[in-house]
Structure 1
Amino acid sequence: MPQILSYPSYCPNRFDLRALLLFYDNIQTIVPDEDQSHVRDFGRLTELEGFSEQLPVKFIDPEYGLFKWEYEKKTYKSFIRLAKQCSDEIPTETKKTIKDANEECFISANSNNLVEHLLLNGWSCIAKAKITPRTRENLHELGVLINMYELTDPATGVVYQENPILMPKPLCDFAVSRLTRDIAQEGNLIPATLKDMAHFASLYRGDIDTPDQRQILLTSLIRVSIPNNLEDIEPAAYWDLRQKYSRVRERLNSLVQSTLVKHDLDGSSKIEEFLGNTENVVKTLENEIDQVSKKIKPEWMENAITFSADTAFTLAGAYIGQQLGDYQDALAGMGLGMLSAKASKFFTTENNDLTYHIAHMRAKITRTTYQPNYEVPSYMI
């Protein structure tokens, strides 16, 4: 099972988090030490804690020793060039306001008109610890960085990020993508996001390996195939659904790899070529998933069919045993019939097609009558 590094945010939103956890055992994100306690209190995480022995999201502190991209001359020149372009696009009056704001040292995100204006015009917040002091100084001189005090949830007033900085979004995307790449390579992780695929061009710098190909194909399918009401399912029902597909997660690498080979995507080593080919293939796979999911029977019908099959195998086994011997042989035949029923059910539900499993998952999610599958007490068996 691959270990993934989620980006660009501290923690994916509820839908993205749940969708990723359906396919991966756990995810890791880049969160500075001072903000980790805030992120652990996010509702979308705490609601899942009761169903897992440990939080399914782990945090990595962005240590400065991993900022390799800032010491790659060509890469860093590209970043500074982009910063200058962003600076040139800022009106003179706004630049003066930014300079005055920075002289206040730290400003609040919730009470400053300038911050509100910039957030509405293509700027984003990023953790201060994700940018080295040297780079922050360069950005400060270009007037494309504002130091802030903290970020709070407007609805609750709860702090979730301390000492962030505000920058034009293209700079944030560039910095976070390159930092993610450095940390992923150091920790043998695979970057993953359900956001805009434009990030990938910056992330992979032209070349892409097989593990990353698998991840991009899978997250592309997740975006178009998992229904939005996933985030509305009760936590207990969601966790039960996730447990049902634990065997699929175990086989995920081989499932995605066979899909890559089947659609001839594994030969694309350049990121631009791979993304273009993937976009076309995903549309085809999405249609396949639509067709398969419509054919999947409701769960109550599946249970009825399974019960009928179990009964038929058991009675057949008992009859054969009775024909061969006495009452004890009939009981033995009944046991053999039950084992045959279980074996039949196991082999008929095994499927090596990734689209089948995603379609099956989609069908489960979209059924509003879905209920957690509690174990039947032994005295009822």
Structure 2
Amino acid sequence: MDKSEKVAILSMIMNFSIFGMKYLAADVSDSIALKAEAFHSFADFIAAITVLAGVKIANRKTKAFPYGLYKVENVMSILISLVIFYSGYEIVMEIISNNQEELQNSFIAIVSLLISIILTFAFSKYEMKIGKEINSPILIADAAHIRMDVLSNVIVLAAIISSMLGYPLDKAAAIVIVCFIIKIGFQILRDGLKVLLDASLDYETLSKVEKIIITMPQVIGVKSLTGRNSGKFKFIETSILIKTHNLDKAHYIADRIETLVKEQVENIDRILIHYEPIRKEQVIYALPLTDDQTMLNEHFGEALSFLFVTFAAGCNVAKKVEIVENPFVTIEKGKGILVAEFLAQKAVDFIVVKNGFHSKGPEYVFANSNIEVIVTDKESPAHIFEERKLQLKQEESL
């Protein structure tokens, strides 16, 4: 039994107990308002049964409903919003119809109402906390409904006390409270309808998901990103461009994105990722240079600068040659990983080095960014590219 079911059962027990207490107090006090409030509590008991049914049904998945019956919660929350509207109407009718001039055993009625106010207020706070904790729309709606019961209890209490003192001031207060009740009811009704009509997830959630996706160095862009609610759960669909032609690699990237999103965004039931490998129009090589910028540096992280050579796809003559300074050369620790991440951000496709990596950090960054490491025994950049049947521009060759 999960938290939502436990809360629903507690709501049933509490509402039935309050109904019994109010009914007995109304019987001995001859209070019409209290008797009406007792039946109001009985209606809350019926609503609590509805909440429990909604929670249990919503958690089921069947062959006919492979995406689950999560929206049952939203249907139930809409029904509860209608109960809230009726509660507002009921409060007005209680005050209007309560023309009794003298009550019997009014102290018993007041005590029963005070106990009811304390219990319903405490339970509504507890249910609201659990509802927000597990993102359950039906518990949040029921908590709002129960909080309205606190107000209705206060109205009846005020009616009893004011009638004892000869100052009937309940009608004006009832109008203010009914306006507040209608506002809460419309809010719950609106939220429920938005989910049933598959309205988009809020901007903050979609923005957070997009930021998670683009942190992956292999992702070139996000073509589309949509999402919807279903009960307390979220369904997300995205189409991304990734820098790889390896299907296993692409599948790994999609799985990694799904894991990160589910870790950082609550109540994700499913995320569907369409990935499209892109064909690059150019290929970039990076080579660590010696201090005089003429030879290949044996120490990858210590290089003062890197030679970037860009080739158009399918062309063996470089279209662009430039030297880029190493921004992390003065860092004492972890510079290898920082430089590797820097090259990944520059969309490098190949890194040429004289020695394999002693540290696994840069190697992991390159593998994760789909950058191929080329180990060579050649000294000069010109010879390195000549070995690969590639040419630097004549005027810019080293």
Q: Compare the two structures and name the one with the higher strand fraction.
A: 2
- Normalised by the length of structure 2, the TM-score is 0.21
TM-score by length of 1: 0.22
Higher helix share: 1
Q: Which has the higher contact order (CA 8 A, sep 6+)?
A: 1
Q: Indicate the structure (1 or 2) with the bigger Cα radius of gyration.
A: 2
